[in-house]
Amino acid sequence: MPPDTTRAARPLPLVEISGADARDRGRQYGEQTRSLIERSLAFYREEFERKSGLAWPDVVERVPRWYPLIDEYAPGLLDEVRGIAEGSGRSVEEIVALNGRGELRTRDPFAEGADCTSFVVTDEAAGDGHVWCGQNWDWRSETAGTAVMLRIRQPGTPTIVTLVEAGQVGRHGANSAGIALNANGLAAPFQNGLGIPAPFIRRRTLESAGMDQALEAIFTARQLLSTNVLLTHREGFAIDVETTPGRHGWAYPRDGVYAHANAFTAFVPPQVGASYRPASSDSLIRAERVERTLRRAPETSSSAEMHALIVEALSDHLGHPNSVCNHPDPRAPRTFETLASLIVDLTTGAFWVAGGNPCTTEFELLPWNIYEDAGELPANLTAAGAHA
Amino acid sequence: MSRTEIPLIEVSSPDPRERGRQYGEAARAQIELSVAYYREGFERSAGLPWDTVLGQVPRWNPLVEEYLPGILEEVRGIAEGAALRTEEILALNGRGELSFGDPFGEEECSSYALLPEATGDGHVYCGQNWDWRADTLDTVVMLRVEQPPAPTIVMQTEAGQVGRQGANSAGIGLNANGLGARFGTGLGIPQPYVRRRILDSPGLDDALHAVFSSRQSLCTNLLITHRDGYAIDLETTPARHGWLYPERGMLVHANHFQSFVPEQLEETYRPFAPDSLYRVPRIERVLRRARQASTSGGVRATIAEGLGDHFGYPNSVCNHPDERAHPLDRTITVASSIVDLTAGEYWMAFGPPCENDYELLPWRLYPSDEASEAAPTSVASSATG
């Protein structure tokens, strides 16, 4: 599709938190996002009841069962959550519920798919020799306006830039160690019981100084939901991991390009092997379409051209409105749309965000380069960089 | 950095007991160290007193004797030579199988094979980084076993073990990697015997037969390479085995199932070492360039670069101790090998290859009067080109 010169700016709020003290970081976060958290809670209160039949008092009563799991998996992170609660004037349980919104919506047999399309183009394919990744984040129209770009600076830990719904501790983003995480729902819950809510898994992954820690975070997590996690490293390594409560599957870029939507493609978990069908059939269009466009990456000759090619891929309208660039479907009782689109140049650290459909929204360069704090990188990572 | 001193041990005799005695005498100090290490390890991690271990190990004897006749004589000889109990040598050879409950974790290794179409000099190469407990570095030995009429073997092993990773005078190379998973019940033949039988093989048929006729209790990856330009990777389990072949002349394998996931694990399988998922593509990325090297030295330099990769440090291809782990659980690349199966040259770096040079062992795989015949006819033209 031809470049659209009429794209409008729709910036997301920028929230910065910093410090060694988790509780204090949380307070900073909660204070800055108080009204968004309130809005988000109003939506999910109703949503949980509708999807899982859990009345709000039940949700609030039960979420503490997650605490031991979360504490063991990501020590200290619950303190940040407590801080968010304090800063926003809400209860801790409410903030945990916002982080567990995926898990709290799982029991509906009529579940709609959560649609997202992620991509990576490594230096092997990109005409400018850079490593690029990003995604469209498609979610319920009602949650528009609750997302923020969050920068988390913690001494001794890589600095994180992540797109979150206000109150969440991590979602899609990149860190100053050159690791990016993009994620897509895979639906297909096939296990009951307690599992670590996804934002905690993603946050721990984004706190990784190296790919060893990032994979460790993904492969040791005991979770309830199946989620696709695309990990990219600035040295040109990328792996897509289809995570489930049991076995994980994985795949690598082919000739430096990879796209993933909301269907299992690396494997089908045996637990759903006899009956698996993707929750969103348009997923089968979206991943293919994005890859097809990005296959032209070697023909680009500059970073600007690479960026434009990615915008083109993310703006694709085949299968509209359930296309890569996702628009509300007037036939659906509850609508989804692309609420944000992310493009990260992991080589330079530039991070662009569009706060709405990429076909009509301008990608704005964040004022934060992800490597601004790279001075905090451990020496061994700097040494590893010499092998790039 | 100074080179780690690794003993080169030669044993030679048609009589297994005598070979064992020579081995035990020459490696006595290292075997004693190894016994001390595993003795403590079993106690600490599994709560298994050494006496209990020694009481159990003879139960393997009938299985081993049937699978590889004569090898127990060699084990007895090692015990005699090292002045230790036979059971202690049996325990060293069964240390992987004894560690059910996973007291020692697994060896994290990265192996590779390169066939003539992937190398600029047209040679066949194989080798690996052998990553194991930092504390066992002093127990590693290089062993040359001359055992007429069976092929002569050159291998790296922990002192007292009868087989691990190596190559033989019939042009067969063997590399191995832990796969972590355990299922199945009952006694299985410990890995060192399986690997020794592969390395005893005069032909590939015997080597594959050794793999497919073994009853084992754990999962291990075995990469078998032949100087005639053939390689196969075998993901072995107590039940079904999976396998794969080189693509475009290159095969790299680390510590996760790549050819299949055993049915016994299919609902829950996750690699025990997730860093394995990047070690494979990182090595491949470098080895792809071996085609452009114009000399054997150039090919070796490319391989060395691949094996020295630090992506994901310290849990990288070139493995270094992770300060976050318990001291007894820290691993390191204890040895790194580049075997030129065409020229019969065996190159070793002892310790992480980023700081240790590869040195040519004084042993040629093939007798020198055969040197001109060593290059098989199928690759002779490219080898001389």
Q: What confidence score (pLDDT) does residue A384 get?
A: 34
b/e map A223-250, b = 16+ CB within 10 Å:
bbbbbbbbbbbbbbbbbbbbbbbbbbbb
Q: What confidence score (pLDDT) does residue B134 get?
A: 83
Taking an 8 Å cut-off on Cβ atoms, the answer to whether A271 and B267 are in contact is: yes
Q: What is the 3-state secondary structure (H, E, C) of A219-248?
A: HCCCCCCCEEEEEEECCCCEEEEEECCCCC
CB A339 within 8 Å of CB A297: no
Q: How confident is the model at residue A29 (pLDDT cuts 50, 70, 90)?
A: very high
Provide the whole-model pTM: 0.91
Q: Above 60 in pLDDT, residue B258?
A: yes
CB B312 within 8 Å of CB B277: no
Least confident of A158-167, A185-194, B336-345: A185-194
**In the sheet where A179-185 sits, what is the strand order?**
A14-18, A147-154, A157-165, A172-175, A179-185, A227-233, A238-243, A249-251
Nearest CB to B271 within list A219, A269, A383: A219
* Sequence-ordered list of residues with C-beta below 8 angstroms from that of B15, at least 6 positions apart, any chain: none
The encoded tokens of residue B137 equal 């570095």
Of all residues in chain B, the percent with pLDDT exceeding 90 is 79
Q: What confidence score (pLDDT) does residue B385 get?
A: 28
Taking an 8 Å cut-off on Cβ atoms, the answer to whether A271 and B311 are in contact is: no
A302 touches chain B (CB under 8 A): no
Taking an 8 Å cut-off on Cβ atoms, the answer to whether A246 and B268 are in contact is: yes
Nearest CB to B277 within list A250, A384, A386: A250
Q: Above 70 in pLDDT, residue B7?
A: yes
Nearest CB to B278 within list A219, A239, A386: A239
Residue B324's closest chain A neighbor by CA?
A213
Nearest CB to B310 within list A215, A233, A387: A387
Q: Above 60 in pLDDT, residue B4?
A: no
Nearest CB to B311 within list A237, A248, A250: A237
The mean per-residue pLDDT over the stretch A329-344 comes to 94
Taking an 8 Å cut-off on Cβ atoms, the answer to whether B315 and A219 are in contact is: no
The encoded tokens of residue B46 equal 């599994």
Of all residues in chain A, the percent with pLDDT exceeding 90 is 82
Q: Above 50 in pLDDT, residue B320?
A: yes
Chain A residues in contact with B265 (beta carbon < 8 A): 247
Q: How far is the alpha carbon of B180 from chain A, nearest alpha carbon, in Å?
A: 14
Taking an 8 Å cut-off on Cβ atoms, the answer to whether B274 and A219 are in contact is: yes
Mutate to test the interface with B, among A120, A124, A157, A212 (most CBs of B within 10 A): A212
The most confident of B89-98, B130-139, B172-181, B340-349, by mean pLDDT: B340-349
Q: Above 70 in pLDDT, residue A381?
A: no
> Amino acid letter at A337?
E
ipTM confidence: 0.89
SS3 at position B199: helix
- Return the closest-CA partner of residue B198 out of B165, B245, B157, B149: B165
Residue B322's closest chain A neighbor by CA?
A212
The mean per-residue pLDDT over the stretch A13-33 comes to 98
Summarised one tens digit per residue, pLDDT across range B38-64 is 998 888 877 889 999 999 999 999 999
- Report chain B's mean pLDDT, rounded to a whole number: 91
Helices marked H in A281-345 — which ranges? Answer: 283-294, 303-314
